[in-house]
Structure 1
């Protein structure tokens, strides 16, 4: 089976390469080799390689910058998604597209399901939602959309690595305590995606409505950014990644204004994904410990 991955240099793209099953022929492209907003280039590469499944891990993810860089955000997140969907349709390939919790406004008090109403608060979320809608319209049941949140890994820049740096440099930290969600270790997300790939190749999912399947995936449990930061410090000290503990206080999001509004609550319901993929979510704290162990080994 041949799988083509976009966004190969990102956190998820890197983990997909690292965990690729031996029976998969993997072709990966970064933005330099494949600009997904360029329809001609997308068509040419997909026709040349003819993959069975495309995993789109490429995205414009600069949430605050997107508020002013709107055209680029939509070019990648909406038009890029549409370009991949059209090319997949032409070669009869399936598409697994990675989306985000930012399609929701965060006003729910219950974990979001795939069918809950979307209402993005900013350009990033709106552009990702537009990409989902384009894929659904073009590919229907040939597409699977996976919404995730708070992704981190040993690769690239992320909250965990930023916290480790700040905790080593600062005397104290104030971290937002009134935005609640669930961290996602990219390695765990990659593992679930490979399980979806195996399912897609071994069985025909009978989707009579011809709409894209929308799934949610994060680690298990719930945390605020403050909870996440406290756990990072505690586990990093255990691992010897930090030598001292500093005071961390919870602050309201209002006292740390950003150009883009963020959902106050973005916990996702993973039950359907667990059922379809056969993979169970693991608590975020357990996953964080695994990632920090890996980071320590790579030092």
Structure 2
């Protein structure tokens, strides 16, 4: 299978490159240096020129706090870009998978969020991602699906694991939010989930919204403790991690308190499972610390 991935240097695009190649697929990744997905003509030309068997949109504006002051940029990528890819996929009859986020919800309550729950994003990033989902739906392409996920980490790019390892190397004590809850999710596990969905989307038997994440929900505080526990294997110091409230760590963009996604619909697909995020974390920590 030939995959055309929009996105090149991000966590998910690089994970799709790894996992796609490992499964014997040809993977072509297009980054911002090649084209802007906000340019519909460029997107259509790329799809037509590469003639893939599957398109995955792993490109996104993900700077949650910066988006509050750059709404036009966020919507250009997350809404217009998604629409452009969906329209091109429909025009050339190519299955299309798009990746979205838990930030489309307001984070209220304490039960996991289902695909049919009312959305209510708290900030520009979430609003732009929801607008992308809606733009994709308006394109009317049946052989397409959206995979919402959360708390993505990998050995690549900027993410919570890299940040904690950096801070933990220099500080004996850290303060980490303990009242936000979600599913840490390895980017390589997301890539595997997308590849599992691909034949079902191509056949038209999987479409619409799906949720996916690591099997065991936790808090950012709990996640940080797990990261430092993995660092012990490399002789890294273990800082004291103090739990704090969201109100103790103000940010430009509000974060959802409850980001746990209900993944039942994904689990109904043949062969689907929710991976334990801890082995993926161990591999990510090993890779990051090997880089120095």
* TM-score computed with the length of structure 2 as normaliser: 0.95
Question: Structure 1 46/103 Cα, relative in aligned 2: closer, same or farther at 3 Å?
Answer: same
Partner of 1:96: 97
- In 2, Cα distance between equivalents of 1:239 and 1:125: 37
Partner of 1:149: 150
Partner of 1:284: 277
- 2:38 counterpart SS class: coil
- In 2, Cα distance between equivalents of 1:95 and 1:192: 14
Q: Note the C-alpha offset of 1:249.
A: 0.2
Q: Note the C-alpha offset of 1:245.
A: 1.9
Partner of 2:229: 234
- In 2, Cα distance between equivalents of 1:255 and 1:297: 33
Judge conservation of contact 1:100–1:148 (CA < 8 Å) in 2: yes
The 5 Å alignment of 1:182-221 reads 182-201=183-202, 204-206=203-205, 212-221=207-216
Judge conservation of contact 1:192–1:277 (CA < 8 Å) in 2: no
Partner of 1:4: 4
Q: Note the C-alpha offset of 1:298.
A: 4.9
* The 10-residue stretch of structure 1 (189-198 or 287-296) with the greater mean CA deviation from structure 2: 287-296
* TM-score computed with the length of structure 1 as normaliser: 0.93
Q: Gapped runs of 5+ residues in structure 1?
A: none
Judge conservation of contact 1:199–1:277 (CA < 8 Å) in 2: no
Partner of 1:51: 52
Question: Structure 1 44/205 Cα, relative in aligned 2: closer, same or farther at 3 Å?
Answer: closer
Q: Note the C-alpha offset of 1:206.
A: 4.5
Give the alignment partner of residue 218 of structure 2, picking from 216, 223, 238: 223
Judge conservation of contact 1:3–1:54 (CA < 8 Å) in 2: yes
Question: Structure 1 79/261 Cα, relative in aligned 2: closer, same or farther at 3 Å?
Answer: same
- In 2, Cα distance between equivalents of 1:296 and 1:165: 10
- In 1, Cα distance between equivalents of 2:76 and 2:15: 25
- In 2, Cα distance between equivalents of 1:216 and 1:36: 24
- In 2, Cα distance between equivalents of 1:285 and 1:26: 27
- 2:172 counterpart SS class: coil
Question: In the TM superposition, what whole-angstrom CA distance separates every residue of 1:188-211 from its partner, at most 9, and x where no partner exists?
Answer: 11111111124445xx2347xxxx
- In 2, Cα distance between equivalents of 1:267 and 1:289: 22
Judge conservation of contact 1:15–1:186 (CA < 8 Å) in 2: yes
Judge conservation of contact 1:220–1:284 (CA < 8 Å) in 2: yes
- 1:9 counterpart SS class: coil
Q: Gapped runs of 5+ residues in structure 2?
A: none
- 2:20 counterpart SS class: coil
- In 2, Cα distance between equivalents of 1:264 and 1:149: 13
- 1:166 counterpart SS class: helix
The 5 Å alignment of 1:60-75 reads 60-75=61-76
